[in-house]
Amino acid sequence: MTSSMTSSTTSSTITSTTHRATPFAPADTRDADESATYAAALERSAVLDALIDQHATGDPDDSTEDAARLRMLTGDRPTGPLHIGHYLASLRNRVRLQDKGVETFVVIADYQVITDRDSVGEVGANVQGLVLDYLAAGLDPARTTIFTHSAVPALNQLMLPFLSLVTDAELRRNPTVKDELALSDGRPLSGLLLTYPVHQAADILFCHSRIVPVGRDQLPHLEQTRAIARRFNQRYAAGHSVFAEPEALLSEVPLLLGTDGTKMSKSKGNVINLRDTADETAARVRAARTDSERRITFDPKGRPAVANLLTIAGLFLDESPEVVAERVDDGGAQALKRVVTDAVNDSLAGHRARRADLARDPAYLTSVLHEGNARANEVAERTLATVRAVMGMSY
Ligand code: TRP
């Protein structure tokens, strides 16, 4: 067993002073348990951030174990284009972690597309769109492994032993799976939707990832992954740490809403996509919901739609929403919208230009995926060999 296969965590020895913003989105319907889990995950995320910083400035001689401990995996479902919510809450952060020296894996979760719908849709074009946005945002294929589920058989095979470690009651209790089922137009619960948290555990554990940047909705999956790692070690590896328990790294970005003040959703036409032109962006912001009060203030409870626009502008401008509000002051909705449009378009101009350049070279995009898939296969085959060995299945 290599030194990367250790389950001990040093995070408990570091205390953190940073606390994350609480989302101002309308109160959700989660119970008290979920809030407690979320609060605990926020605390742990702050500790993880401190660890990452320590790693970034740390002793290079110490790098072998640290590098293994600080591998991260996250991913996206290729169901459509990425929008500014993905960019602000997730993509920018991945690049930041990559640039701090965290070894980064990004899964394009193509098998997850069919968890809640009957067809894969434009999966090829969507995968290509994701790769374009990753590269344009600054993910570097020399340092970051970008791969698709369907091209990594050994990862998928891990699902079989992992499935033996979960009960059907546990799977049926998963609140995110329940929500996704409720949103899927009365579809019956498919075996894939029920078990996709286990598949996601395979995504995370195949590369021994210790850090998993996720949104709040993914926390139940991370708990499931931790349980699978623990149980695998206990049941099949005589207590040896084949798999370490990964930690969620929650985004500091509050939940962002669409331009109509409701949840961002492609079908509602309330999102600004990264690939949109400056004019399309301006039109979308012009149509955004606001209110008739002339003086612009940051009041998430009383004026959620205005607060959401201020938050978006603030995130792009690296300013607090209050400061943006003060600047707009009594300019009204029109001035606010101008500030938002300029903030989005100016910040994304470079990204959009790089994206357009890259799109002219589809052969390069294919080569990035081929190399990422080759690397993911190597790592997955190594892990699967270990799993088979400890299970007495090396024939
Ligand atoms: N389910 C995630 C999402 O919809 C994407 C995903 C797939 C993922 N596998 C993962 C995220 C593993 C983190 C870790 O956003």
**Rounded CA separation 262/267 (Å):** 12
Closest among 341, 229, 243 to 284, alpha carbons compared: 341
Ligand 1 centroid–CA 101 distance in Å is 22
**Rounded CA separation 387/384 (Å):** 5
Ligand 1, atom 13, lies closest to the CA of 74
* SS3 (DSSP) at 209: coil
Put the strands of the sheet holding 71-76 in their side by side order. 144-148, 103-108, 71-76, 211-214, 247-250
Ligand 1 centroid–CA 194 distance in Å is 15
Residue 56 has what pLDDT? 75
**Rounded CA separation 286/344 (Å):** 13
Cα 4 to Cα 167, 207, 214: the distances in Å are: 28, 10, 23
Mutation choice for ligand 1 from 79, 83, 105, 218, CB with most ligand atoms inside 8 A: 218
Q: Return per-residue pLDDT of the chain as tens, 395 residues.
A: 333 433 333 333 222 333 344 444 444 445 777 888 888 888 888 888 888 888 776 555 554 454 445 899 999 999 999 999 999 999 999 999 999 999 999 999 999 999 999 999 999 999 999 999 999 999 999 999 999 999 999 999 999 999 999 999 999 999 999 999 998 889 999 999 999 999 999 999 999 999 999 988 999 999 999 999 999 999 999 999 999 999 999 988 888 999 998 988 878 889 999 999 999 999 999 999 999 999 999 999 999 999 999 999 999 999 999 999 999 999 999 999 999 999 999 999 999 999 999 999 999 999 999 999 999 999 999 999 999 999 999 99
**Rounded CA separation 113/119 (Å):** 8
* SS3 (DSSP) at 107: strand
Ligand 1, atom 9, lies closest to the CA of 200
Ligand 1 centroid–CA 224 distance in Å is 13
Ligand 1 centroid–CA 77 distance in Å is 7
Ligand 1, atom 3, lies closest to the CA of 76
Q: Which string of DSSP letters, residue by residue, matches 222-270? A: HHHHHHHHHHHHHHHSTT--SSPPPEEEE-SSPPPB-TTSSB--GGGT-
Ligand 1 centroid–CA 374 distance in Å is 20
**Rounded CA separation 256/2 (Å):** 42
Position in ligand 1 atom list of the atom nearest CA 203: 12
* SS3 (DSSP) at 213: strand
Cα 343 to Cα 119, 240, 310, 372: the distances in Å are: 37, 51, 10, 33
Contact predicate 316/343, CB 8 Å: yes
Ligand 1 centroid–CA 367 distance in Å is 23
Q: Which string of DSSP letters, residue by residue, matches 340-377? A: HHHHHHHHHHHHHHHHHHHHT-HHHHHHHHHHHHHHHH
**Rounded CA separation 258/271 (Å):** 5
Count Cβ atoms below 10 Å from residue 194 Cβ, excluding itself. Answer: 16
Encoded tokens for 25: 């989105």
Ligand 1 centroid–CA 195 distance in Å is 13
Ligand 1, atom 2, lies closest to the CA of 76
Residue 46 has what pLDDT? 85
Buried-exposed string 220-257: b where 16+ CB fall within 10 A, e elsewhere:
bbbbbbbebbbebbeebbeeebbbbbbbbbbbbbbbbb
Contact predicate 90/282, CB 8 Å: no
Residue 34 has what pLDDT? 81
Please list, in sequence order, all residues whose beta carbon lies within 8 angstroms of the beta carbon of residue 89, skipping any fewer than 6 positions away.
215, 251, 253, 256
**Rounded CA separation 35/87 (Å):** 25
Ligand 1, atom 15, lies closest to the CA of 76
Q: Which residues line ligand 1 (CB under 6 A)?
A: 73-77, 107, 109, 112, 200, 203-204, 212, 214, 218
**Rounded CA separation 244/346 (Å):** 42
Q: Say which DSSP state 156 is in.
A: H
Mutation choice for ligand 1 from 214, 223, 264, CB with most ligand atoms inside 8 A: 214
Mutation choice for ligand 1 from 210, 221, 265, 266, CB with most ligand atoms inside 8 A: 221
Ligand 1 centroid–CA 109 distance in Å is 7
Ligand 1 centroid–CA 338 distance in Å is 34
Q: Tokens 């965590």 identify what position?
A: 9
Residue 347 has what pLDDT? 98
Position in ligand 1 atom list of the atom nearest CA 215: 15
**Rounded CA separation 286/19 (Å):** 34
Ligand 1 centroid–CA 331 distance in Å is 41
Count Cβ atoms below 10 Å from residue 93 Cβ, excluding itself. Answer: 17
Ligand 1, atom 14, lies closest to the CA of 74
Contact predicate 312/256, CB 8 Å: yes
Ligand 1, atom 8, lies closest to the CA of 75
Global pTM value = 0.88
- In the chain, the amino acid numbered 361 is D
